[in-house]
Chain A
Amino acid sequence: MEEFTFTSQLFQYLITGLTVGSIYAMVAIGFNIIYNVTEIINLAQGEFVMLGGLIMVFLHVAAGLPLLLAFPLTVILVTLVGMLLDRLAIRPIRQPSVLTLIIATIAASIIIKGIAMFIWGKDPFDLPAFSGRVPIHFMGAVIQPQYFWVGGFLVATVILLTFFFEKTITGKAMSACADNPDAASLVGINVKHMILLSFALSAAIGAVAGITVTPISLMEYDRGAMLAIKGFGAVVLGGLGSFPGAILGGLIMGTIESFGAGLVHSGYKDAFALIVLLAVLFLKPSGLLGSIEISKIKKF
């Protein structure tokens, strides 16, 4: 017999919170990649996650492709959507201001959501877990094997991105654009390509988040907006533009949400993350790891 003590329950909340938080962290990283290069807050970020989950369901469950094939294919398809977003909604804007760019990403997000509803309908879809659903019992908590996949992909994403930004020429060029787009284009960096690449990258990360979370929490067409706003909450909590901040912010956000829903009121589950977002905006808008000087320079 499993014994459910209060401590084991708290431990359970922590585990679930960190798992959900890993997803928020991936969404937050996606926000930061685009923000750092373009100073755009891409409100369609959550739609990448939703598309990742639903396209994976289509390829893996409906079309019967093996996991190892469906996974990269899904990421590629969502990456294409991200690139289309830049080419069709962001680049055509002739007088870009933060205001019009925010509106454009909102428009894109409701178009993507509407098309997803058209293709998949309104029902949530399940995806088989990558390595079965036999839970592991540890310290009185029930841990799904899929939790490890989510955490593992967050770690893998972070390692790959660090390598990309620190070691490759393209990655360094992107960091240069983030630093100063005018100077970057003077030294021969094609800023437009870098913007396209930033959308592609953050769409890919969103897709990975969506694919790995769907076996845990299912996926439906209208999940994007809430994921985006919580991911943005993680961004602000960690400090706008900071990658370590995004990870920390995401994990804290997930944990707060899990404890809040478990201990305070489950009906307000979605509200906790948003209250944290408001509190950070009001009390320490530079976030935990962001610097005040940088937040004054930024346009957003």
Chain B
Amino acid sequence: MLRIRTFPIVTFALFIILFPWVARIIPGIGHYPDLMIFAGIYCLMTIGLSLLMGYAGQISLGQAAFFGIGAYVSGILTATYGLNPWLGMVIGMIVAALVAVIVGVPSLKLHGHYLAMATLAFGIIVFIIFNEEVELTGGPDGMTGIPVLSLFGFAFDSLEKYYYLVWVFVFAAFIFTINLIQSRSGRALRAIHASQAASNAMGINVPRFKIMVFVYSAILAALAGSLYAHYLNFINPTTFDLFFSIKLLIMIALGGMHEIWGAIIGAFLVTFLSFEWLHFFEEFEVIVYGFILLVVTIFLPHGLVGIPHIIKDWLRR
């Protein structure tokens, strides 16, 4: 991802803008814009996670917890305390960032993959809290009555309005992330990706950059969670379990963790797999996900976005 071309981004943006009209014309895909809202929400998370995995070389197995923190902070502040939803969204992101600092700083200062295990434990603890703090979260039954988002009297109350709202956020995050990668910090991240030892020697504070990326991914996940809560107007803990964190991992691995497009392709594919194409397998879809993850890890270490490179290499021979 050394060069970011504008052409694919503009094409992608046009596709997203025109898609609801196209979906209305083509029979059988009328409900796809609804799925695309979820795809957009997942994209927000995978963009942050791909930065963490592809650049900082760390896995987080607790992204579902940040997603849940965003959703529950929004839900509790708006449904229970009647706070302005946008304010709730921002507070959710701040809470997620603080929690990410608390979990991330000690584990990222250690050598190796302690973040994976720390976030795994952290994710399960947060899941248990969502279930047990019944007075606050409604427990396993979840909480209802989360209001619709509105801006200056304009309510995002229809599917299409919410579709555009979510995708505005996704593009904002996308462009911000690209700029981040091409900034001074981004160069440091690329250096870390190439060699930790060398970047250390050049005076880059490696743990600090890793923490920065981790916190950024947590903020994006919380934003996604808040958008999720205000779209469904209802949340319950099962959405934020360990398997969801693993699903995010599958999205990144499938799309490709070394390019930001991989994050987006992965989020789309897994959304459509889980809402549309894997119905036949019912609850046994986990087996399919497991095989996808294993096959990609073994045969496509760079994910689907790596395929063109493989073909190019093959043709050159």
Chain B min CB distance to A30 (Å)? 16
CB of B113 within 8 A of CB of A103, answer no
Judge if B125 is at the interface, Cβ distance under 8 Å. Answer: yes
Binary CB contact string for chain B from 214 to 258 against chain A (1 if under 8 A, 0 otherwise)? 000000000000000000000000000011001001000100000
Q: Which residues of B contact A102 (CB under 8 A)?
A: 59, 113, 116
Q: How many residues of chain B have a CB within 8 Å of chain A?
A: 42
B121-170 contacts to A, CB under 8 A, are 121-122, 124-125, 128-129, 131-132
Pick from B112, B284, B291: contact of A117, CB below 8 A.
Answer: B284
Q: How many residues of chain A have a CB within 8 Å of chain B?
A: 46
Contacts A111-B287, A271-B125, A282-B107; A103 near B117 (Cβ below 8 A): no
Q: Which residues of A contact B61 (CB under 8 A)?
A: 106
Do most interface residues of chain A lie in helix, strand or loop, or is the interface mixed? helix
In chain A, what residue has the closest Cβ to B302? A95
Number of A-B contacts (CB under 8 A): 120
CB of B294 within 8 A of CB of A115, answer no
Judge if A246 is at the interface, Cβ distance under 8 Å. Answer: no
In chain A, what residue has the closest Cβ to B117? A232
Q: Which residues of B contact A92 (CB under 8 A)?
A: 298
Contacts A115-B287, A268-B128, A285-B110; A278 near B122 (Cβ below 8 A): yes
CB of B121 within 8 A of CB of A111, answer no
Among A41, A106, A109, A282, find the residue whose CB has the most chain B CB atoms closer than 10 A: A106
Bound together, the chains give a CA A201 to CA B245 distance in angstroms of 30
Contacts A103-B59, A267-B132, A281-B106; A94 near B301 (Cβ below 8 A): yes
Judge if A296 is at the interface, Cβ distance under 8 Å. Answer: yes
CB of B121 within 8 A of CB of A98, answer no
Judge if B120 is at the interface, Cβ distance under 8 Å. Answer: yes
Contacts A104-B294, A106-B249; A113 near B286 (Cβ below 8 A): yes
Bound together, the chains give a CA A179 to CA B300 distance in angstroms of 31
Among B113, B132, B283, find the residue whose CB has the most chain A CB atoms closer than 10 A: B113
CB of B301 within 8 A of CB of A225, answer no
In chain A, what residue has the closest Cβ to B139? A267
Judge if A68 is at the interface, Cβ distance under 8 Å. Answer: no
A220-238 contacts to B, CB under 8 A, are 225-226, 229, 232-233, 236
Judge if A99 is at the interface, Cβ distance under 8 Å. Answer: yes
Bound together, the chains give a CA A271 to CA B53 distance in angstroms of 27
A244-284 contacts to B, CB under 8 A, are 265, 267-268, 270-271, 274-275, 277-278, 281-282
Q: Which residues of B contact A104 (CB under 8 A)?
A: 294, 297-298
